[in-house]
Structure 1
Amino acid sequence: MSGALIVSVSGIRDDTRDYAAEFARELDSRSVPLSLLVAPRLKDKYRLVKDSATQQWLRGRRDGGDAIVLHGYDQAATKRRRAEFAALPRHEARLRLMAADRVMEETGLRTRVFAPPRWLASPGAVSALPDAGFRMIAGINAIRDLETGTAERGRVLGIGEGMKAEPWWCRALVIGAGRVARRDGLVRLAVSAQQLGCSGPRRAMLDAIDLALYSGAVPGVYEHVRTVRRAA
């Protein structure tokens, strides 16, 4: 049985959209769909509802086969040096999830899949997801179906958004992706759109994708079905 490959991009906004779009074109040429991690609010007072160009681009990519994944509400640290959902109790997590879901519905980007900022969610946050209508969570070490409780293990290999971006790490990411793919495992690659504007991280991601494909990994996306979708 072949392994699988999932590639995600986060931090997509008005000033990083072009980087994401160029990367998406590279992946289109390889027949690799993207999982687009979207947050309604980002730093510097960014609001998705006011960014119609990014909304349109995201909807177009989704219609072409990419997946939209909720990636937090405003990504603010709720405790010192902790990611937004990493330490939240259930009630507060539910409020944030519902607020984010309303924005996603308003912009035509509603999704039933959640990937917490930095891929970290507290037990309380995980327990709040079904109440807010979510059916799958992509965490740091596994993708979990919230309806069945089943999980597909695979650790995220990422650049940016709290993960390293130094040259040595980029080389390690490529090697790690190839190793997992040769073992027919689940290769999960993640990059922030801001890092795609830098030649080194961008090249490393493309090399890791190419190596995974060469090793037989089948591309797919994060989506709310009971198995990870794999493109033909």
Structure 2
Amino acid sequence: MADGSARLVVSVHDVAPASADETARWCADADALGIPVSLLVIPGPWRGMCLDDTPDFASQLQKRRAGGDEIVAHGWAHAAGPEGSALRRTVGRLVARGAAEFAALDEYQAGERISAGRAVMSRAGLATTGFTPPGWLASPAAERALRRAGFTHTTNHFGVKDLRSGRLHRGFALSHRPGGGWTEQFGEAMFSRVAQRNAARGGLVRLALHPDDLRQPGLRDTTLRTIERALAAGATATTYDAVVAR
């Protein structure tokens, strides 16, 4: 039986003008469940569009934050480049399907992208001190660049990290693997099972929702049922910045 200490963070990934409809769908589901979400915003060019070019979309995100959601920077352009060793690039392709933008950057390279992203976010009225690298992968040098730039928290596969103290609030990131086949089915089963177990144990439950999840029949329903079960097991819905503040 949970003791009420369990926390649930639902993060909506790849928030950008190109995914505005999918973002709105996930946010509507969150509103129906009465929970806040952490919105992971791609500030640079992604799928042919950029946050700088869509003031109406930025305004919608401002309203979401005013209503209790968190805004988090999500890399720059959400695409890995040629930087780093072959091993790091290979790991990034396997884990993040080519999106591991910060996995192999040195401090200068990371700093340039962080600075560009912060400028766009600031112009959009979405300045933030939270950062989640695409694929939850950031090199040690990139993490140093985040700290130097004044970010207070970041996330990886294993938890939420306070960049000021170095403390890691442990909680594995759970997400679907859309694409059909056994990997999608296995991921869907683990998504629900692990989340409910962690909630019952009083842990940190992290559910990551992506735009492409909505293209696969059943994944949205599994997600909503998982959230409901985590809440029923005693988890309190919160955001990444609130986890670190606590």
Paired residues, number: 227
From 131, 150, 156, the counterpart of 1:139: 156
Distance in 2 separating the partners of 1:225 and 1:209: 18
Q: Which has more helix, going by share of residues?
A: 2
Distance in 2 separating the partners of 1:189 and 1:95: 30
Partner residue of 1:3? 6
C-alpha distance 161-192 of structure 1, shift in aligned 2 (>3 A): farther
Answering whether residue 25 of structure 2 is matched by residue 22 of structure 1, we say yes
From 172, 182, 185, the counterpart of 2:203: 185
Partner residue of 2:146? 129
**Maintained 8 Å contact 2:17/2:50:** no
1:220 CA displacement: 0.4
Q: Deviations 1:150-198 (Å, cap 9, x if unpaired)?
A: 2201110012599x97233212211111111111110000011232344
Distance in 2 separating the partners of 1:224 and 1:89: 29
1:34 CA displacement: 0.6
**Maintained 8 Å contact 2:76/2:116:** yes
Partner residue of 1:49? 52
**Maintained 8 Å contact 2:170/2:204:** yes
Partner residue of 2:86? none
Partner residue of 2:236? 218
**Identity rate, percent:** 37
1:219 CA displacement: 0.5
Q: Deviations 1:129-162 (Å, cap 9, x if unpaired)?
A: 1221211111111111111222201110012599
Partner residue of 2:111? 94
Q: Which has more strand, going by share of residues?
A: 1
C-alpha distance 91-104 of structure 1, shift in aligned 2 (>3 A): same
Distance in 2 separating the partners of 1:110 and 1:42: 18
Distance in 2 separating the partners of 1:161 and 1:123: 29
Please list every run of at least 4 consecutive aligned residues from structure 1 whose deviation after the TM superposition is greater than 6 angstroms: none
Three-state SS of the structure 2 residue aligned to 1:9 is strand
Distance in 2 separating the partners of 1:7 and 1:158: 10
Distance in 2 separating the partners of 1:194 and 1:61: 21
Partner residue of 1:60? 63
